[in-house]
Amino acid sequence: MKITKVDAIQIEDKPADQPGWRPIVCRVYTDTGLYGDGEAAIAYGVGSTAAYGMIQDLAKLIIGMNPLDTEVIWEKLYKSTFWAQNGGPIVFAGISALDIALWDIKGKYFNVPVYQLLGGKMRDKLRCYASQLQFGWGERKTPAYQIEDYVANAKKAVSEGYDAIKIDFFTFDPKGYRYSSEETTRVLDPYHVHVVIDRLAAVREAVGPDVDIIMENHSYIDAQVAVQLGEQAKKYNILFFEEPTTPNPKMNKFVCDKLNIPIAQGERIYSRWGYAPYFEDGSIQLIQPDVGNCGGLTEAKKICDLAYIYDVGVQAHVCASPLSTAVALQLEAAIPNFTIHEHHVYNRYDYNKKLCKYDYQPVDGYIAVPDLPGIGNELTDYCFTNGKVTTIE
């Protein structure tokens, strides 16, 4: 079996509530008729067009190769492209997209779900948390400005059966605008400390003691602010303090040592080499590799196994199309150190759901693991008819 061509696809829906949303996906074809789908998880922020180009550049290197040789192909992409070594979001997102598609082909070839190829399914369903409630918890993005917005969003998620939620309490100012780094870094004034902590306190009171709260920070704050906020957040029993500073092992350890709060990091760490210092100094308790930008399933499994050596839990970062959700579920089903699954609010939006054949949604706070051959999802025709498609042969 040989790889015959690759379609790189840039989808531009530009939804009104998320005009920068631009999923980058691919389809890898073989001479047997089998194909696999993958995704470069750079759908938001800046960099999607670069990932689209990266897939095209990398695809040229795998034409004619055996798609079942996932390790062989990964090593070629890593060691023969110069810039791939030591990671980076764009080059690793490109590798990820192709690697995911190859695992999809491999599962279809052997007629088994990918989790079977990763070692077997350790659990049938995964505990989920409702993610990013500062953007609402409905069918479209509705920024939370007032304390009552945060409370309403949290209550809605809990009413659907979630017993864990994640919120960035420091994204929006009560006056109706998004904070800049001028306001979120260095030592905070009392007003901004109260904005964050008062929101957290209100949500904790609303959901009670039996719902876990993950306090998201997106690395928008720095180490000094993380200590300021973390000291006051402790009493509200947060499950994880996520991305409390720029992904830097020394600063992460500084925060960890000062606060003694479980730290989560990882959506912007792109390889096992990037994670290793965090494991070695004991400053991380939950890693969050994104299969769509950390090097695909081939690399993500190595990262999770390395974390297992250090008793570190895993939650795959998921903020892309439903294709990435399916891939994360395959990985999380198979690893022993799975902790919790992220169900991002973007998974509730129609403009995202229509990109894939299957729509996996949690029920009562748990999500089932797909049992279909391959990754358990595939792109719809919409992606090809409404996306910019470049074919590499």
**In the chain, where are the structural domains located?**
3-112+379-392, 117-368
CB of 162 closer than 8 Å to CB of 372: no
Q: Report how far apart, in Å, the C-alpha atoms of 302 and of each of 79, 118, 276, 277 are.
A: 17, 11, 11, 15
DSSP annotation of 263 reads E
Percent helix / strand / coil, the chain, rounded to 5: 40, 20, 40
At 16 the pLDDT is 84
Angle of helix 190-207 relative to helix 223-233, nearest 10 degrees, comes to 40
Question: Is the full-model pTM beyond 0.75?
Answer: yes
At 216 the pLDDT is 98
At 87 the pLDDT is 86
At 224 the pLDDT is 97
User: Which one-letter amino acid corresponds to residue 48?
Assistant: S
User: Which one-letter amino acid corresponds to residue 133?
Assistant: L
Q: Which CATH superfamily is domain 3-112+379-392 in?
A: Enolase-like, N-terminal domain (3.30.390.10)
| CA-closest candidate to residue 340, choices 322, 351, 328, 323 | 328
At 98 the pLDDT is 99
Two tokens at 372? 């279909």
**Is residue 179 exposed (0-12), middle (13-18) or buried (19+ Cβ within 10 Å)?**
middle
Average pLDDT of each block of 10 consecutive residues along the chain (393 residues)? 98 86 97 98 95 98 98 98 93 98 98 98 97 97 97 98 98 97 96 98 98 98 98 97 96 95 95 96 97 98 98 97 98 98 97 97 98 98 96 98
CB of 263 closer than 8 Å to CB of 230: no
**What CATH code is assigned to 117-368?**
3.20.20.120
| CA-closest candidate to residue 391, choices 68, 96, 59 | 59
Two tokens at 36? 């696999």
Two tokens at 354? 């229509």
CA–CA dist 309, 270 (Å, integer)? 19
At 299 the pLDDT is 98
Q: What is the DSSP string of 101-140?
A: HHHHHHHHHHTSBHHHHTT--S-SEEEEEEE-GGG-SSSS
Max CA-CA distance within the chain? 64
